[in-house]
């Protein structure tokens, strides 16, 4: 897509490619490369947070306290109730 934009900077294209390739954050999670820039790290953390939040959405909406077996943490709703 970048090639179709006249004058698109090569450094920016390379950074976008790096963002896409590293967005899973860790090789163990399927990322072919690990984040090497602050932006790539932030994107990987946001992707991870989104994945974890999606696992626990129903209990959060219901306000229930649950243990998420995959991440080993209580739901956000339960943590907020304790605050």
The pLDDT score that the predictor gives to residue 64 is 53
In the chain, which ranges are continuous DSSP H helix?
10-22, 38-55, 57-62, 76-82
Predicted local confidence at residue 30, as pLDDT: 81
Query: For residues 35 and 79, which has the higher predicted lDDT (pLDDT)?
Result: 35
The predicted structure's pLDDT at residue 28: 87
Please tell me whether the overall predicted TM-score, pTM, comes out greater than 0.75 for this model: no
Copy the structure tokens of residue 12: 């920016």
pLDDT computed for residue 31 by the predictor = 87
At 73 the three-state DSSP class reads strand
Q: What is the pLDDT of residues 23-65, one digit of tens each?
A: 988 888 888 999 999 999 999 999 888 877 766 555 555 555 5
Assess contact for 41 and 35: CB atoms under 8 A: yes
């Amino acid at each position: 897509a970048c090639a179709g934009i006249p004058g698109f900077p090569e450094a920016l294209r390379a950074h976008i490619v790096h963002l896409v390739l590293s967005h899973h954050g860790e090789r163990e999670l399927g990322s072919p490369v690990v984040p090497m820039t602050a932006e790539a790290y932030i994107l990987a953390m946001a992707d991870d947070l989104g994945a974890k939040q999606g696992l626990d959405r129903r209990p959060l909406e219901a306000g229930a306290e649950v243990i998420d077996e995959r991440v080993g943490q209580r739901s956000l709703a339960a943590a907020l109730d304790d605050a």
